[in-house]
Chain A
Amino acid sequence: MDLLEPDILLQLLIGGLLAGMLYALLACGLNLVFGVMRVINLAHAELMLVGAFGAYVLFTVFGLHPLLSLLIIVPLLFIAGYYLQSVLIERVVGRPMLTSLLATYGVSIILINVGLLLFSADFKAIPALQGSFLIGELAISKPRATAGAISLLLTVGVYLFLERSRLGKAIRAVSEHAQVAAICGIDVRKIRMLTFGMAAAMAGAAGVMLSVIYSFWPGSGVDFIQKCFAIIIIGGMGNFLGAFYGGILLGVVEAFVGGFASTQWAEAVAYLLLVTVLLIRPTGLKGVARV
C-alpha cells in the first residue's frame, strides 16, 4: 500500500477532520469556562465520561439510541454543571489558579472512582451505529461521520449563541472584563453558573459522541484532558474559536501521524505539541490570560 496515494491522504484527512470536530466540541467548553472565570477545569474530561456512561446506561437499560439520549443527557449535564458551579467552583473563582486546579482535580478523582465503583474498569462500547458510507474509493465510518457532524453542529450552535444572543453577549462581556460587566448590570454570578452549565452540557454531548465511536472506561479522561490542554494552548486560552481550530488541527495531525507512524505515536502527539508550544511560547500561542 502506497501511503502517498491521494485517496489514502484524503481518507486520513477526512478521518482527522471528523475526530477533530469531537475534540473541538470538548475543548471549546473547557475554554469557555477558562475565558469566563479563569478556572482550568481538570474535571472536564470526566464530565464528558459522565455523558458517555449516561448514554451507555440509557442504551443498555432502556435500549435508547445514543443520538436520542443526547436529548436527555445534554439538559441533565447542564443542570449538573450549573449546580456544580454554584456549590463548588464559585468558591474558588478569583482565588489563585492552583486552588481551582486542585479543587477540580478533586472533582475528577471523585468522578473517576465513583465511575469505577459503578461500572468497573472494563471497557464499554455502544454498538448502535455500524458500517461505513462508501463514496467512490473512500470509506467513511458511519459512527465517526455522525459524531463529527453532530459535534460540529453543536459547536457552531454554541458559537452563534455566543455571538448573536443577548445572553451570549453577556457571557462574552464577563469574559472580557467581569467588573465592567457587573457595573453594566450583568449578574456575573449567574453568568458563571450558566457558562459552567453550558460547558458541562457540551462535555456531555461530546461524551455521547465518544460513546458512539470508541470504547471507554472511567479512566479514559486522562487522554482527553491532555488533548484538550494541547488544543487550548495552541488555540489560545479562553479563546472559543481558537479551541475550535486547535481541535481540528490536533485531529488531523493525529490522523496523519497514526497513518504514517503508529497509533501509539498518535497518542503522544498531543503531549509533544503541548510541550513544544509551551517551550516556544511559555504563555501559549495566543495567550489571553496573564497568570
Chain B
Amino acid sequence: MSNGLQRLNGRWVSAVLVTFVLLAPLMINDYHQSFLLQVFMVIALAQAWNLISGMTGYVSFGHAAFFGVGAYAGALFLTWGFPWWLAVMKGAGIAALLAVPLGFLTLRLRGPYFAIAMLGLNEVGRVVATLWVDVTRGGTGLTLSPELLPSLDVKYFTMFGLALGATLLVAWVHRSRFGLELRAIREDEEAAEMVGVNTTLNKVIAFVLSAVIPGAVGAVYVMYTSYINPASAFEHARNIEMIVVVLFGGSGTVWGPILGAGTVMVLRELLWAQFPSAHLAALGVLLLVVVLYLPGGLISILRARQQKRPDARPGESP
C-alpha cells in the first residue's frame, strides 16, 4: 500500500511539475526561463549518470565527455545546414556510436578499474577537440550565427523533453527486468552472472543509453550558448555536478536526481552564482557528507518520514 501511495503522490507531484513547466514560459522572464532550462539540463544529465552508475554501481567519472561530443556534433551539423532537431539527434547518435566500443572495452573491468579508466575520458575529449583544428577550430572554438538557432522557447521545451525522457527511461528501467538485472550486477556481479545474467551486455546497454542523453543535451546546450570551445564542452565541473546531484538526491531512484538537481541548482543560484569555485567546493563538501552520513540521499529521508506518518496509510495493518 505504501508503494501505491508513493505512486499516487508521485503522480500528483509530476502533474503539478509538468503543468508548471508548460505554463512557465508565459509567466516568467527570459532569465528565469534560462534558469529552468539549465535545471532541466542538470536533471537530464543526472538521470543519464543515474542509469549507469546509480543502477549498476559502476561509477563513471568521465560522463561529461559524451556531453562534449554531443555539443561539438550539434554545433558542426548546425553549421553544415542541418535543421536544429536533426543536429540534436546527430549529437545523440554520435555519442552512442562512441559509447558502444568504449563500453565493450571498459565494462569488462570491475568497478574501481572502470572508474579509473573513465576518469581520463573527459580530458582525452578536451585534448582531441583542441588538436583536431580542421574540424573543431581548436581553442578558438565554434561560434553559431544567431539565424541558425531555434528560439528560447524551442530550446526550453526540447531540454524539458530530454529531462522528461531521461526520467521516464529511468522509471521504466527501474521497473523492468533489465533494471532488475542491473541492480543484481550492483549488488553482486558474480552471483548475477551465475544465475544467467549477461552482465557485460547489460552494462553496455545501460552505458550506451546513458551516453545518448548527454549527447543530445550537449547539442541543445550549444544552441543555447551559441558558442563552444574545448574547455566549455569538456568541463570537468559537469562530471562533478552529475555525480553529486545524483548521490545527494538518491542514486538508483527515479525522483532522487530530480530532487538533487533542483536543490543544487537553487542553492547555486541563491548562494554561489558569482563564485563558481565556491559552488564546486560546496559540492565537494556535500559529496563527503552524503557518502559518509547519508548513503541513500535526500530521498531516503523523505521516504523514512512518509513511512513513519501514521495517517499516511489509513486502515493499513499490521
Say whether B109 faces chain A, with CB atoms less than 8 Å apart: yes
User: For A178, what are the chain B residues with a Cβ–Cβ distance below 8 Å?
Assistant: none
Closest Cβ of chain B: how far from A261's Cβ, in Å? 12
Q: Which residue of A lies closest to B111 (CB)?
A: A98
The answer, among A267, A283, A291, for a CB contact under 8 Å with B127, is A267
The answer, among B111, B117, B275, B283, for a CB contact under 8 Å with A291, is B111
Closest Cβ of chain B: how far from A286's Cβ, in Å? 14
Contact A102–B284 (Cβ < 8 Å) = no
**Residues of A within 8 A of B (CB-CB), count:** 43
Closest Cβ of chain B: how far from A33's Cβ, in Å? 14
The answer, among A114, A117, A282, for a CB contact under 8 Å with B113, is A282
**Complex: A109 Cα to B284 Cα, angstroms:** 5
Say whether A40 faces chain B, with CB atoms less than 8 Å apart: yes
Given that A117-B275, A282-B113 are contacting pairs, would A110 and B285 also be in contact in the complex, using a CB cutoff of 8 Å?
Answer: yes
Closest Cβ of chain A: how far from B170's Cβ, in Å? 20
The 8 A CB mask of A73-116 against B (1 = contact, 0 = none) is 00000000000000010011000111101110111111011101
Given that A97-B112, A282-B109 are contacting pairs, would A271 and B124 also be in contact in the complex, using a CB cutoff of 8 Å?
Answer: yes
The answer, among B59, B106, B108, B131, for a CB contact under 8 Å with A102, is B59
Say whether B243 faces chain A, with CB atoms less than 8 Å apart: yes
Contact B291–A109 (Cβ < 8 Å) = no
**Complex: A98 Cα to B290 Cα, angstroms:** 13
Q: Which residue of A lies closest to B292 (CB)?
A: A91
**Complex: A253 Cα to B115 Cα, angstroms:** 24
The 8 A CB mask of B240-257 against A (1 = contact, 0 = none) is 100100010000000000
User: For A40, what are the chain B residues with a Cβ–Cβ distance below 8 Å?
Assistant: 112, 116
Say whether B301 faces chain A, with CB atoms less than 8 Å apart: no
Say whether B180 faces chain A, with CB atoms less than 8 Å apart: no
The answer, among B115, B127, B283, B284, for a CB contact under 8 Å with A107, is B284
The 8 A CB mask of A107-150 against B (1 = contact, 0 = none) is 11110111011000000000000000000000000000000000
Interface of B, secondary structure class, is helix
In chain B, positions 70-96 with a C-beta closer than 8 Å to chain A are none
Say whether B224 faces chain A, with CB atoms less than 8 Å apart: no
Say whether B281 faces chain A, with CB atoms less than 8 Å apart: yes
The 8 A CB mask of B249-283 against A (1 = contact, 0 = none) is 00000000000000000000000000101101101
Contact A113–B119 (Cβ < 8 Å) = no
The 8 A CB mask of B125-165 against A (1 = contact, 0 = none) is 00100110000000000000000000000000000000000
User: For B296, what are the chain A residues with a Cβ–Cβ distance below 8 Å?
Assistant: none
Contact A117–B278 (Cβ < 8 Å) = yes
Contact A101–B115 (Cβ < 8 Å) = yes
Say whether B10 faces chain A, with CB atoms less than 8 Å apart: no
In this complex, the interface size class of chain B, counting residues with CB under 8 Å from chain A, is 35 or more
Q: Which residue of B lies closest to A262 (CB)?
A: B131
The answer, among A98, A264, A278, for a CB contact under 8 Å with B131, is A264
Of A102, A275, A278, most B-chain CB atoms within 10 Å: A102
**Complex: A284 Cα to B110 Cα, angstroms:** 11
Chain B interface: which of A157-165, A169-177, A217-225? Answer: A217-225
Q: Which residue of B lies closest to A284 (CB)?
A: B113
Contact A226–B123 (Cβ < 8 Å) = yes
User: For B116, what are the chain A residues with a Cβ–Cβ distance below 8 Å?
Assistant: 40, 229, 233, 274, 278
Contact A105–B61 (Cβ < 8 Å) = yes
**Complex: A283 Cα to B108 Cα, angstroms:** 10
**Complex: A287 Cα to B225 Cα, angstroms:** 46
The 8 A CB mask of A250-288 against B (1 = contact, 0 = none) is 000000000000001001101100110011001110000
**Complex: A65 Cα to B120 Cα, angstroms:** 34
Say whether B201 faces chain A, with CB atoms less than 8 Å apart: no
Contact B284–A275 (Cβ < 8 Å) = no
Q: Which residue of B lies closest to A103 (CB)?
A: B291
Say whether B236 faces chain A, with CB atoms less than 8 Å apart: yes
Say whether B8 faces chain A, with CB atoms less than 8 Å apart: no
Contact A113–B278 (Cβ < 8 Å) = yes
Q: Which residue of A lies closest to B53 (CB)?
A: A98
Say whether B25 faces chain A, with CB atoms less than 8 Å apart: no
User: For A222, what are the chain B residues with a Cβ–Cβ distance below 8 Å?
Assistant: 120, 123, 236
User: For A91, what are the chain B residues with a Cβ–Cβ distance below 8 Å?
Assistant: 292
Contact B291–A99 (Cβ < 8 Å) = yes
Closest Cβ of chain A: how far from B213's Cβ, in Å? 22
Contact A92–B131 (Cβ < 8 Å) = no
Contact A106–B115 (Cβ < 8 Å) = no
The 8 A CB mask of A37-75 against B (1 = contact, 0 = none) is 000101000000000000000000000000000000000
Contact B59–A88 (Cβ < 8 Å) = no
Extra A-B contacts (10), CB below 8 Å, given A40-B112, A101-B115, A102-B287:
A98-B111, A103-B287, A103-B292, A109-B283, A113-B278, A264-B131, A271-B123, A278-B109, A283-B110, A291-B112
Closest 8 CB pairs of A and B: A109-B284, A113-B281, A110-B284, A106-B287, A116-B277, A106-B288, A113-B277, A113-B280
Listed by A's residue number, 11 A-B pairs whose Cβ atoms lie within 8 Å are: A106-B285, A108-B284, A109-B280, A110-B288, A112-B280, A222-B123, A226-B119, A274-B117, A275-B105, A282-B113, A283-B113
